[in-house]
Structure 1
Amino acid sequence: MTTATTSGARNRTKTPPPASRGRNSAWRETALVVLLRIGVIALALVLWQVLSGPVLPEYAVSRPTDVSHALWQLLGSAKGWTDIETTATEVVAGFAIGVGIGTVMGLVLGSLPLLGRVVEPLIAAVNGIPKIALAPLFLLFFGIGVWSKITIAAAGVAFVVFYNVYLGLRLRERELVEIVQVMGGRRHHVLSYVTIPTLAAPFFAALKTGGPLAILGVIGGEFIASTGGVGHELFTAATNLDAPTEFAGLIVLVAMTLALNGILTGLDKYALKRLGLTGHRRGSRGTA
């Protein structure tokens, strides 16, 4: 009887706790997803290499080996890095200016309901114009230098940020504001305990949406008229039917997009953690 009890106790001590099993399962699932992604990319590259020529026109799709050679030449030249630096500068500047303008517009119009109702239809009408259609107008005002591309990028980002901040303020729970005010809270208390936590999620969602829009605006402007930048090189490669260089430039743009999205994701997690909203989100998902 004692032996059975002892062996049962040993078996119980060898069993890993549920939390440890959950972590191990999550790690295995993550590793499996990463391996499957690598496998899909490798399969696509192999099919690309094999089908280019016999099935697909090589002048249009090139080959992965040729693209890697063109990418190596691009990253190994001073001109290539100058173009990357030019595009990156335009994207960052346009993104920052667009975020600033959109945030200020959203806060002002969201805090003044009457002014918001008057101006919102006008903003919606202007937002309906494709930003790339405004590129020639910006080129006339600012020339073919970097500022025309910065303004195109800022225009695309500003509207996205504005609508998220504006609608976030309109959806702010009035009851919470009144509770803080009844408890003796002032405007900065309402801002700290109600407004900022309410706007955090839509604001960072707007940032993640606006990042690719900033890159799209800059590349579109460089396509139309520019003397440098990744978009200028893409346009030149397309004109010369240089498919390897075209794909190499696209890879650079994908890398820039992933880098910007990674930075914004890290900033999102840090800000939500500082505001104490991450635990609330997990708790909400657990009770759902």
Structure 2
Amino acid sequence: MGRSRRRTPMTANAQDDFGNVVQRSPAPPAHRWKRWRVAGLVLLTQVALLAALLALWERATGQDKQAAFMFGSPSAIFGFLGQSARDGSLWRDIYVTGFETLLGFVIGNFFGTLIGLLLWYSRFVSRVVEPFIIALGSIPIIALAPIIIIWFGTGLISKVAMSTLSVVIVALVTSYKGATGVDADQVNLMRTLGASKFQIFRKLVVPASLTDIFAGLKLTVGFALIGAIVGEFMSSSEGLGHAIFKAGSLYIIPKVFAALIATIGLALLLTFVVGRLERLLMPWRKVQ
């Protein structure tokens, strides 16, 4: 009593003191302008650093043929990108690798997240399976490639399996961490109010775990892409992994970098989609 409570200005959707989602008024123009100015300054600095790096790289390789052979040059790299974009091979490789990555990403995260959340139901079961999960997670994915090819052949299924296996353990661990990190007082409160274990799971555990689940989703984008590309390294006739492997075996370093740039672009695109999905499913949380 006698102590006033300070409230922060309402600038976005949030929760009130009773846990209800409330609609906050938009940020004032001055605040928005400051935020845009900072974002613009960050972007300008990033572009300047990238331009300086490319200029130094071009200058160093332009004066030394051996360096140009070993490291390529930005002009040669973008030349290969333009050539492959015009003949359609770039878009075909991006489509193949992207499709394999997306399937592995969705399947691996679905089963990993489902198992991780369900392990919240029984601490006994989670303790029993913990060493097996750690053992599976410690196996390098490239070591499984020969077995995967024997089991599933050299087609699409083997690449999707590699991508899925790269994702599933990470998704399982992050979702289980989110489920077990739920506030015990909130769980006890729901039990006191007569909630069943399934109601606690559906209305408390799952929503409270979304932050960790989406953190895992952002992390597993790269793992799914690695799994697909490793599978293409082992046996494939198309895809970005095949393009990297073929160019590397022929010592065409600029073409290797061109395929790597396309791979980075694909990863950034998938990460952006996950971020938009997070904003859609968690509107009450301001995503940084």
What TM-score, normalized to structure 2?
0.85
Partner SS for 2:84 = helix
1:194 is aligned to 2:194: no
Flag structure 1 segments of 5+ consecutive residues without an equivalent.
Answer: 1-17, 283-288
What is the Cα deviation at residue 127 of structure 1? 0.9
> 2:261 is aligned with what amino acid?
I
> 1:201 is aligned with what amino acid?
T
What is the Cα deviation at residue 187 of structure 1? 4.6
> What is the RMSD of the two structures over their aligned residues, measured on CA atoms?
2.0
Partner SS for 1:110 = helix
Flag structure 2 segments of 5+ consecutive residues without an equivalent.
Answer: 1-26
Identity of aligned residues (%): 30
**Larger Rg belongs to:** 1
- Cα contact 1:111–1:169 (8 A) shared by 2: no
Distance of 2:253 and 2:217 partners within structure 1: 32
Distance of 2:163 and 2:210 partners within structure 1: 23
- Cα contact 2:94–2:266 (8 A) shared by 1: no
> 1:60 is aligned with what amino acid?
M
* Count of residues in Structure 1 that have an aligned counterpart in Structure 2: 261
- Cα contact 2:171–2:216 (8 A) shared by 1: yes
1:146 is aligned to 2:156: yes
1:171 is aligned to 2:156: no
What is the Cα deviation at residue 110 of structure 1? 2.2
What TM-score, normalized to structure 1?
0.85
> 1:31 is aligned with what amino acid?
G
Distance of 1:129 and 1:235 partners within structure 2: 23
Partner SS for 1:76 = helix
Q: Which structure shows the higher helix fraction? A: 1
Match in the other structure for 1:11? none
Distance of 1:246 and 1:165 partners within structure 2: 36
Of the three residues 239, 248, 251, the one matched with 1:229 is 239
What is the Cα deviation at residue 242 of structure 1? 1.0
What is the Cα deviation at residue 26 of structure 1? 2.2
What is the Cα deviation at residue 53 of structure 1? 4.0
Distance of 1:80 and 1:169 partners within structure 2: 41
Of the three residues 149, 157, 163, the one matched with 2:167 is 157
Match in the other structure for 1:75? 85
- Cα contact 1:70–1:245 (8 A) shared by 2: yes
1:87 is aligned to 2:97: yes
What is the Cα deviation at residue 246 of structure 1? 1.0
What is the Cα deviation at residue 193 of structure 1? 3.5
The Cα offsets for residues 81-116 of structure 1, whole Å up to 9 and x where unpaired, read as 222211111000011110111012212222121111
1:263 is aligned to 2:273: yes
> 2:33 is aligned with what amino acid?
N
